[in-house]
Structure 1
Amino acid sequence: MGRVGTDSPDVVRLWSVKKTYRTAAHEVIALDGVTTGFPAGTFTAVMGPSGSGKSTLLQCAAGLDRPDGGKIVIDGTDLATLKETALTVLRRERVGFVFQAFNLVSALTAEQNVSLPLRLAGRAVASAEVRAALARVGMAERAGHRPSRLSGGEQQRVAIARALITRPAVVFADEPTGALDIKASREVLRLLRGMVDDQGQTVVMVTHDPVAAAYADRVLFLADGRLVEELNGKLDAESVAARMTGLERSAC
């Protein structure tokens, strides 16, 4: 299935990835030769001014959108070698997604929402496995509740359990705290951090919030579709915010 030989420790690797959106009036270069990797068991935040290409980077890296050039490998598989059906299977089995809007099915209970990826894949659903996934995110007691009876933070925790149920190689989170209040945001961020520290999960998160980014192991900064800076090590919201302010001033 397009597997490539590599000694790279990266679960996801991008080489010279380019993406351009064209309209009748003009074209926008969303990604301009991006090369980077996301090592196993790490938490990476992706930041940048509006229009910098961070959402496009996530969509291409996750196989949701195909780049115009370059190469993307997920868990040893070159995405360019996959036809659409095989790409859908790879996303379903090897990639987890957490979105700002939760994307839970309103007619299903928390337990049914978490088991949905397994059902779609035609895999047997063990109730104990689903309950264990909910327990890991602190939602075991709410398994029988539909989304309308859950708070925003609780819905996002169910969404995280759903993302983890297939034991993905990588979890991509797109502004996962954007619709939450401060308390719920911190709970979700601590949960994502714990997935990395305790379970060795690889997490890539797009965010505009320096406080959220400070939970990561490193922060990648984009501007005009290019990677322009990287912060590593012990991060704090103040240093992340200072870098973002510098990029936003440069973009003006």
Structure 2
Amino acid sequence: MTIPMVSLRDLRKDYRAGSDRVTALDGVTVDLPAGTFTAVMGPSGSGKSTLLHCAAGLDRPTSGEVVLDGVGLSRLDETGLALLRRERVGFVFQAFNLISSLTAGQNVGLPARLAGRRVEPADLDEALARVGLADRARHRPIELSGGQQQRVAIARALLNAPAVVFADEPTGSLDAHTSRQVLAMLRDLVDERGQTIVMVTHDPVAAAVADQVLLLADGRLIDRLDSASAESIATRMAAVEETC
């Protein structure tokens, strides 16, 4: 059996909204296998971003347990969580979050340098080569297309060889053609390098690239689709939205 890279056990997350309590996650239990691509989908307010943040150690659940690469996150203090995120987790978001005054190579190495670690030029070159930008190391963001900027952000996430990459709508600001290129690259990272990727998306076409699709509604995991087509995902999502 494939060993889980991320295990969620009876995960619950409540928020206070004035005098009311809002439940964002309501007892989610699921294993995300190592070396696979998981997409997380659901209607607005279904809890998908909250699931991503709790799984990545960016937010603490109200109850339940997250185990990431064999480490139970509830046992870690804030310093321990920050260290785990730095060493074992990569993040990619819809906004590229690149520094306009820095080159692509400098942007890739920035988080490591801020953490006080020396970054070898060869490591930067390797990270950019992995995403097909070996010849763009000295280009600034304004000189790159949107898809190239997102590739720089992915290279930055991959620099320290993370156990898992969490991506929140990574193609949300890209056109259809560029989205397909970025998704194909993410797929290759899983197939060729054994990377584990967990991606939140609202797009059935993007989700169809994944090995499994988790469907959330009202904070609960209501379905899992394996190797599903975009059409079948869209049909299932439409049925979920009709009941919400």
Structure 2 residue runs without a partner (length 5+): none
2:52 maps to which of 39, 48, 58: 58
Q: Confirm whether residue 177 of structure 1 aligns to residue 164 of structure 2.
A: no
Q: Confirm whether residue 83 of structure 1 aligns to residue 77 of structure 2.
A: yes
Q: Confirm whether residue 97 of structure 1 aligns to residue 82 of structure 2.
A: no
Q: Confirm whether residue 168 of structure 1 aligns to residue 132 of structure 2.
A: no
1:241 maps to which of 226, 231, 234: 234
Aligned-residue offset at 1:8? 7.6
Alpha-carbon distance in 2 for matches of 1:120, 1:47: 33
The answer for the alignment partner of 2:185 in structure 1 is 191
1:117/1:166 contact within 8 Å kept: no
Alpha-carbon distance in 2 for matches of 1:45, 1:196: 13
More displaced stretch, 16-25 vs 197-206: 16-25
Give the secondary structure class of the aligned counterpart of 1:27: strand
Aligned-residue offset at 1:25? 3.9
Q: What amino acid is aligned across from residue 198 of structure 2 in structure 1? A: V
The answer for the alignment partner of 1:218 in structure 2 is 212
Structure 1 residue runs without a partner (length 5+): 1-6
1:119 maps to which of 113, 117, 123: 113
Alpha-carbon distance in 2 for matches of 1:29, 1:192: 32
2:23 maps to which of 29, 34, 37: 29
Aligned-residue offset at 1:139? 1.0
Alpha-carbon distance in 1 for matches of 2:238, 2:184: 25
Aligned-residue offset at 1:124? 2.2
1:30/1:56 contact within 8 Å kept: yes
1:44 maps to which of 31, 38, 52: 38
Give the secondary structure class of the aligned counterpart of 2:102: coil
State the number of aligned residues.
244
Alpha-carbon distance in 2 for matches of 1:106, 1:27: 40
Aligned-residue offset at 1:106? 1.8
Give the secondary structure class of the aligned counterpart of 1:66: coil
The answer for the alignment partner of 1:131 in structure 2 is 125
Alpha-carbon distance in 2 for matches of 1:93, 1:105: 22
Give the secondary structure class of the aligned counterpart of 1:28: strand
1:14 maps to which of 8, 12, 23: 8
Give the secondary structure class of the aligned counterpart of 2:59: coil
The answer for the alignment partner of 1:207 in structure 2 is 201
Aligned-residue offset at 1:123? 2.2
Give the secondary structure class of the aligned counterpart of 1:118: helix
2:217/2:240 contact within 8 Å kept: yes
1:107/1:146 contact within 8 Å kept: yes
Aligned-residue offset at 1:173? 0.4
Runs of 4+ in 1 over 6 A off after TM superposition: none
Superposition CA RMSD, Å:
1.2
Q: TM-score, normalised by structure 2?
A: 0.97
Q: Confirm whether residue 250 of structure 1 aligns to residue 229 of structure 2.
A: no
Aligned-residue offset at 1:145? 1.2
Alpha-carbon distance in 2 for matches of 1:34, 1:198: 30
Give the secondary structure class of the aligned counterpart of 1:163: helix
Alpha-carbon distance in 2 for matches of 1:99, 1:19: 22
Alpha-carbon distance in 1 for matches of 2:185, 2:128: 12
Identity across matched positions, percent? 65
The answer for the alignment partner of 2:151 in structure 1 is 157
